[in-house]
Structure 1
C-alpha cells in the first residue's frame, strides 16, 4: 500500500471523530467569539453590535465580583483539602490495612451518586430543621442556620463537593502509589526514616505527577461548579449572592436576563481565568520536571 493511500485511509478513519469535534467544539467556540460583541435577545431574535460594551457591563455588575469572590474562595478551600484527604486515605489503603476493600467500596459510593441527589441529601442535612442543625442544637444548645445564612451557605457546598470528589481522587492516588518502587521505602527505612518521614520524603515527591493532575482537575471542576449552587439556591445564588458562582452567573445572564452576548463574554472570562490558574499551578509545581 502506497504512502498516499495509507494517509487517505487514516484520515478516513479519523473523519467521524474530527467531524464531531469540529461541529460540536470548534464551531460553537467561533460562534461564541462572534456573539460576545453583540447584544443578543434570544426571545426577540434580535442582535445589536455593542463591541466591548458587554465586558464593561460585566465588570461593573456587583454580581460578577460576588461570583469572583465566591468561586475564588471555593477553589482555594476545596482543592487543597480534597487533595490532602485523598492522598492520605490512599496511603492508608495502600498500607494494607484490614478491610481495605470494604472501606474502598464504601468510600466510593458518593462518587456513584449523582450531584443532584447529593445536593438534595445535603439540603436535608443542613436545612433549618435538618439532622446536622438539630445535632448541633442538642450538643451545644445553639441553632445554627446554614443554608439561609450568607456566611455559611457556601460552606455547605464546599463540604458536599469534598465529600463527593475525595473518593475519585483517592483512587487516582492509589493507582499512583502502586507504581512507586518498594525499594525506595526499603532504602528510606535502612536510613532510619519512619513511616511519617517516608510519606513526606518518598511518597509525596513520587506522587507529584499524579498530584498535579488531581489539583488541575480539581481547579477546573471547582471553577465550573453549577448544579449544586443552582439547586441549593433555587437558581438565585442566594442568600445575598453568597452561593453565586461563575457558571451560575453565566446561566442567569443567558436565561434570566436574556442576554446571550454578555453570557458568552462571561464564559470567555471564565475560560481565561481557568487557563491562567492552571498555568500558574503548572509553573509552581514544575510538572514538566518531576519524575514520572
Structure 2
C-alpha cells in the first residue's frame, strides 16, 4: 500500500511546492552570494583569472614565440631548442597564464619539457586546446592544479589593506554624511507630503500621483534630468545667472557634488515613503483629532502631539530602510559623480570589483558595509520602539 498523508501534511507539501520558486531564488541570489562574499573576502580572488584555464590557444604558436624556432626548419635539433626553453616563462608569458607560487613550482618540477619539445619539432602541436587540456597532457604530476581557478587564501590581508586605504575611509565618511543628512530630511518631508495628501481637498489624487512618480521612474533617466539641471550651462545656473551669480560646476566641484546628489535622492525617495506614512495616517482614529480640536489645539500642535507620535512604527521602518538605502547608494553616484573625493562605499566596492578586478578586496569592503548596516539597524530597533498607542 502507498504512503498516506494527513490533510495537514498534504497542505504543508502543497505550500512548500508553491513556495519553492521563491525559496530557491532567495537561496541562489541572496543567501549564496552572502556566503560567497564572506569566503572571497579572505582571498585574492580576481574575476579576470576565473576562466584562465579554459582559455584556448595553439601550443605550436606559443612554442614558436618562446623559442624563435619554426618546426619545419631544417637542421634544428632537440638540444638547441632545449637550451632556450624555460618552462615557467613559457607558461607565464607565451601561453599567457598567471600562476601562483605553488603552480610555478609544479611547472618547474613536473612539466615534461622533453616530450613537449619533441612534439613541437614533430609538428604535433597544431591542434587548438585549452590550458587545462595542455597541462593535463604535459604535466607529469599535479596537473589538477590547473583544472580550475582557486583563489589564494590570504587571511586578514584585505582587511589590513582596508585600514590603510584612504579612499575606503573617504567613501565611508561620505556614506555616513549622506545618510545623516538625507534620512531625516526625506523622512520629515515624506510625513509632510503624507499629511497634505491625506487632507480632504480637491485634486489630492493628482498630487499623490505627482509626489509618487519620481519613486517609480528610472534612476538613470532621473540622473540624466538632474545632470541637465546641474551642468555648467544647465537650468540651475541659468536661473542663478539672472540673479547676477557666476555659474557653478555642481557635479565636478567636490564641495557641492555630494550635496547635489542628496537633493536628488530626497526628491526621488520622499514620495515613495509618503505612501508608508499615508497608510499610517489613515489608521489613526479620527476621534483623536476631533477631541484635540474641541480642546482648541491648532494644526501644528495636533501634528507634533498626535500625528508624529502615532506614526512611530512607520518612522522606524522608514528610517531603517532609509539608512540601508543611503549607506548603499550607488546609481546616482555612478551616473553623476566623476571625482574620487565624493564617492560612496558602494561605488568604491564596484570600482574594486569591476574596474580594478580585485573581487577579494571588494568582498572584504562589502562585508564591512554589511556589518555597519547591521549594527546601525540593531541600534535603531533598540532605541526606537515601534509599538503603537492603540
Shorter-chain TM band: over 0.9
Matches within 5 A, 1:74-85: 74-85=178-189
**Pairs within 5 Å for 1:87-236:** 87-233=191-337
* TM-score normalized by the length of structure 1: 0.92
2:44–2:358 Cα contact (<8 Å) kept: yes
Please give the per-residue CA displacement for 1:48-97, whole angstroms capped at 9, x wherever unaligned: 11100001111210000110111111101111111111101211221223
* Offset, 1:32: 1.7
Aligned equivalents of 1:7 and 1:76: distance in 2? Answer: 45
Task: Give unpaired runs (5+ residues) of structure 1.
Answer: none
Given the two structures, how large is their TM-score scaled by the length of structure 2? 0.70
Specify which of 352, 356, 361 is matched with residue 262 of structure 1.
361
Which deviates more, 66-75 or 2-11?
2-11
Once residues 317 and 272 of structure 2 are traced to their aligned partners in structure 1, the CA distance between those partners, rounded to angstroms, is: 12
Deviations along 1:226-263, one digit per CA (max 9) or x if unpaired, are: 11101113xxxx43x23211110001111122111111
Q: Is the 8 A contact 1:137 1:144 kept in 2?
A: no
Range moving further from structure 2, 47-56 or 276-285: 276-285
CA distance in structure 2 between the partners assigned to 1:194 and 1:243 by the alignment? 43
Contact 1:153–1:242 (CA under 8 A) maintained in structure 2: no
For 1:35, the equivalent position in structure 2 comes to 40
CA, structure 1 residues 135+282, in 2 after alignment: closer, same or farther (shift >3 Å)? same
Alpha-carbon distance change, 22 to 102 in structure 1, aligned in 2, over 3 angstroms: closer
Greater RCO between the two (CA within 8 Å, min separation 6)? Answer: 1
Shift of 1:216: 1.2
Looking at structure 2, the residues matched to 229 and 136 of structure 1 have their Cα atoms a distance apart, in angstroms, of 24
Any conservation in 1 of the 2:313–2:385 contact (CA below 8 Å)? no
Aligned length: 286
User: How many Å separate the matches in 2 of 1:198 and 1:224?
Assistant: 35
3-state secondary structure, aligned to 1:97: coil
From the CA coordinates, give the structure whose radius of gyration is larger.
2
Distance 1:118 1:12 in 2: 40
